[in-house]
Amino acid sequence: MKRRFRPAPILGLALLLLLPLFLVQGFWQLQRAEEKRRLQEEYDRRATAPVMRVEPRLQQAEDLRFHRVVARGYYDARNQVLIGNRVHAGRVGYHVITPLRIEGGEVRVLVNRGWVPQREDGAPPPIDVPAGLVEAGGIATAPAEKPLTLGWTRSRGALTVWPHLDMRRYAELAPFAVQPVLILLNPGSPGGFAREWSRLDAGIAMHEGYAYQWFVLAGVLLVVYLVITLRRAERDDRTSENEK
C-alpha cells in the first residue's frame, strides 16, 4: 500500500501556533536559569567573603545583602514583631523579629532571632530579649515584598503579629531609621531560638524544570500531530483501495 502524508488543516494550524510558543517559553526558562546561576554564584561569593560590620548609619541594601555581617548594639524589645504561621519540625509557630539599636547611633537593624512555637491557645510563648550590649552575627537578607496586607494590626498581648515581614512598612511605622536588610541570626549566636536557615537558593532548578516541561509539551504536540496525520493518511489510502 502506498502511504501519503496528508496534513490535517486544524492540527497543522495548532502546530504552527503552539509549537513556537512552547519552544520560546522553554528557551526563555533556560535563559532565566542561566541568570539565576550567575546570581547563585554571587550568593556563594558573598557568603564566603570577609564579615562586614553593620554601621550606625543607613547603608545601601546592595552593600550588605547576602554578606555575612555583624552588628553590635542593644535589642529593642518594645518594637519587636512576630511573623506568624511559620512551621518548624512539623509545628506551627512564629519568627521573632527584634530590632537592634546599633552602638553609636539610633539606627536599628532587624534581626530574625529564630522560631518559637505557639501555645495551645494560639498565642506565642513568653519571649526573652537579651539586655545590655550584644553582638548579632548572621547573613544579611532582604525579604521580598508581598502584596498580602491582612492581619497587620493583629496583636497577642504586647506583641504584634504580622503575616510576613514587610521591610518598607516596618520602616514607615518605626519612629527610628531602619537598615534595609534583615539579619538571620547565626545558629551559634546567643539570644536566639530555633534556627535552621536554608542555604540561599536562586532557584536554578525551578527554571530548568519549567524549561523541561515546555520542551516536553513541544515534543508531545509534534508526536501527536505526526501520529494523527499519518493515521489519517493511512485511513484515506485504505478507503481509496476499497473504492477501486
Rounded-to-integer distance, Cα 46 and Cα 60, Å: 15
CA dihedral 199, 200, 204, 205 (to 10 degrees): 30
- Measure the CA–CA gap between 140 and 47, rounded to whole angstroms: 10
Mean pLDDT of the chain: 84
Q: What are the domain boundaries of the chain? A: 50-185
Over residues 29-36, mean pLDDT: 88
Q: For residues 179, 57, 51 and 83, what is the CA-based torsion angle, rounded to 10 degrees?
A: -20
- Grid cell at residue 5: 502524508
Hey, what amino acid is at 139?
I
Query: What integer pLDDT is reported at residue 91 of this predicted model?
Result: 92
Q: At what angle do helices 204-243 and 9-47 cross, to 10 degrees?
A: 160
DSSP annotation string for 110-136: EEEEEEEEPPTTSPPPP-----S-EEE
Model confidence at 43: pLDDT above 80: no
C-alpha distances out from residue 134 to 47, 93, 175, 192, Å: 22, 25, 22, 12
Per-residue pLDDT, 234: 66
210-237 per-position pLDDT tens digit: 999 999 999 999 888 888 877 776 665 5
